[in-house]
Amino acid sequence: MKVIKAKSAREQVYEKLKEMISEGKISQGQRIVELEYADYFKTSRTPIREAIRMLELEGLLEENSNGGMSVKKITEKDILEIFQIRIALESIILKEIIDKNNKNNIKKLEKIINKTKESIDKNYSASNIFKLFSEFNETLYSISEYSRVVNLIKNINMYLKIFRRYSVEDLERRLFAYGEHCAIVEALKNNDIETALALNEKHLKSSRDFLIKNLDEKK
């Protein structure tokens, strides 16, 4: 019988803090005070300190001028670098999907696209569309057997999660993203790797440029 190991206090605090940062519940530049979060999580300061160290190593926290830790502010340079990495990594994923040529996988993506179209037509909330866009990406990644590549993509996407929510709230950007997803899936259906790569790069650069344009306003 497989024994499921319970998560340590450090792991639980780390995961919760990471979620709170990515969802904007802890703002960029906000200080992380050990004592305050120990009280919030009803735990000692040790797991807080350990979780903070893990988040610092991931680049989500940084040391501020007085020696404490704060949530790292995302800069235009960060966004440019993250999207350049994502373009390269997602190219690997798309090439593998076409090499596998599994029509059932494409149908999974089409199903999500159809649900997205229905949600847009019925003027569902931005949060609903965000979930479907995230589901599209998660499904695209799940098709791949390159687990390390997928983990790298998920880690860098964490930095931009809060900004992606803002982009989905913009109706024009939402419609463009939906159309771009449709075109990418069509290229995958046709086993047209060059078109799929070009479309995905265009899609990611559009997202990148939108985020940079709105960076100062949303901070």
Q: In what order do the strands lie in the sheet with 69-71?
A: 31-32, 69-71, 61-63
Instruction: Give dist(CA 138, CA 131) in Å, integer.
Output: 10
Class of residue 67 by CB neighbours under 10 A (exposed 0-12, middle 13-18, buried 19+): exposed
* Dihedral sign, Cα of residue 201, residue 206, residue 209, residue 212: negative
Instruction: Give dist(CA 66, CA 64) in Å, integer.
Output: 6
Instruction: Find tokens 């999974």 and name the residue.
Output: 108
- What is the per-residue pLDDT for 160? 77
- What is the per-residue pLDDT for 50? 96
**What pTM does this model have?**
0.80
- Six-digit token pair at 209? 């440029």
Largest interatomic CA distance in the chain: 57
Contact in structure between 67 and 115 (CB atoms under 8 Å): no
Q: What is the residue-level pLDDT of the chain in tens, covering all 219 positions? A: 343 456 788 999 999 999 899 888 898 899 999 999 999 999 999 999 999 999 999 888 999 888 889 998 888 998 999 999 999 999 999 999 999 878 888 999 999 999 999 998 888 777 888 889 999 999 999 998 899 999 999 888 887 776 666 666 677 888 899 999 999 999 999 999 999 999 999 999 998 998 888 776 555
DSSP one-letter string for 74-127? P-HHHHHHHHHHHHHHHHHHHHHHHHHT-HHHHHHHHHHHHHHHHHHHTT--HH
- Six-digit token pair at 68? 């404490």
Instruction: Give dist(CA 31, CA 41) in Å, integer.
Output: 16
CA 52, chain centre distance (Å): 20
What are the structural domains of the chain?
A: 9-71 (1.10.10.10), 76-218 (1.20.120.530)
